[in-house]
Structure 1
Amino acid sequence: MRALYLTHPQVRIDANVPVPLWGLSEVGRARAEALIARNIVPGGAVVFSSREAKALELAEIIARATGTPILTDHGMGENDRSATGFLPSALFEAHADRFFAQPHESINGWEKAIDAQKRIVSSVTTALNSVPSDAQVIFCGHGAVGTLLKCHVAGRVISRDEDQSRWADKGGGNGFLFDLAAEKLLSEWVPMEEIGPDWFG
């Protein structure tokens, strides 16, 4: 079964707000609205989402086009970084580099990459097993766990070289097509602006 994994685009960064509660910025929301304005998102598609605000806001925009309810799962959330809370950009990037480079280790209390990978793969597997085999499925989620899912599907080692920031828009709002059961990665990360109707064929 083909499915699309789509990350949330740009967010409102606020050091005083817990990261899971950050919502989409004006730029991020405009990009998501532009995606559905192209009328390529199929009606009736099944929409799964992380429960974090930014992913849910993306899912709500997508669901307006599909006309279907949003199915959420805490297991689809981003890697748990609550141990450090908000980090300035340079420090966050350094932590993220180590997160991918040392997947079996906790980086200053962060969830281990290998554990986050097992969690997102399990959650996506459960989701796909819950819908008809001919369903069109869209996952609304996050960059890090999306990358870990991508690595698993493609049979690649966990590496930040697979991260969306290395392939597409650094602000997020990127997607890849995959077939989990067949363990086939059907595309690399691409910006949502380059997703066409054939992606939903």
Structure 2
Amino acid sequence: MSRLVRYLSHPQVQIDPEIPIQNWSLSKLGQSRVAALAKSGALAGTTKVISSAETKALETARPLAVALGCEVEVRARMHENDRSATGFLPPAEFEEVADAFFANPEQSVRGWETAAAAQTRIVAEVEQCQAEHAAGDLLFVGHGAVGTLLYCHLSGLAISRAYDQGPGGGGCYFEYDAEQRVPHACWRPLEQLITG
């Protein structure tokens, strides 16, 4: 019987330039989207939830794990691409730097972790977790940029922002068969999980 692996990015956050990005919490909208997914039963069959240690990811993972009756395993190396060199950037400036991050994967843009290094890190974490998880579907809860880098790797695609989850604040997923390891489709809003 095939097992599904899903990668879910956290949904909308409460942006606060005074708080380190990794400590941002979900916004009310983000919380309501997670609650709807938890209540829907769409993740039935999932036996383990693995999350980044960032607050917004944990606030996504924990309600889902509670609804599923399973544990959350926290993996610190599943964090978003390291942007600590710049910290918070105004939205327009952030988009410019993010474009450069994806366009030049071997180069550090303004001190950020390179896309190539972030891809190597997230792929290694996911592969290790899959190797340790023998039964049932698996849910990873993380972030948009490293999720896109994982998607590119699994799909055999060069790193490109063309495969990013797009505007809207996150809360998207992709899934693949645990054995074949090729995504069925690119990012889709989590609501498509609920509606089928």
TM-score, normalised on structure 1? 0.92
Match of 1:45, SS? strand
**For residue 100 of structure 2, what is the aligned residue in structure 1?**
98
Which sections of structure 1, spanning at least 5 residues, go unmatched?
Answer: none
Structure 1 counterpart of 2:43: 41
State the AA in 2 paired with 1:190.
R
RMSD, aligned CA: 1.5
Change (3 A) 1:154 1:44: closer
Q: Distance in 2 between matches of 1:13 and 1:123?
A: 27
Q: Say if 2:46 and 2:139, in contact at 8 Å, map to a contact too.
A: no
The question of whether the paired residues in 2 share the 8 Å contact of 1:81 and 1:111 is answered with yes
State the Cα deviation string for residues 161-192 of structure 1 (Å, max 9, x = none): 00001xxx621000000246534111211100
Identical positions, percent: 45
Q: What is the match of residue 187 of structure 1?
A: 185
Letter in 1 for 2:111: G
Amino acid at match of 1:177: E
CA displacement at 1:58 relative to structure 2 = 0.2
Q: In the TM superposition, what whole-angstrom CA distance separates every residue of 1:126-181 from its partner, at most 9, and x where no partner exists?
A: 0000111x32100000000000000000000100000001xxx6210000002465
In structure 2, distance between residues paired with 1:86 and 1:53: 16
Any residues of structure 2 matched to 1:71-110 within 5 Å, and which?
71-110=73-112
Give matches, 1:1-201, under 5 Å: 1-42=3-44, 45-132=47-134, 134-165=135-166, 170-179=168-177, 181-196=179-194
Structure 2, gaps ≥5 residues long: none
* Alpha-carbon separation, structure 1, partners of 2:42 and 2:99: 35
TM norm structure 2: 0.94
CA distance in 2, matches of 1:107, 1:153: 24
**What is the total number of aligned residue pairs between the two structures?**
194
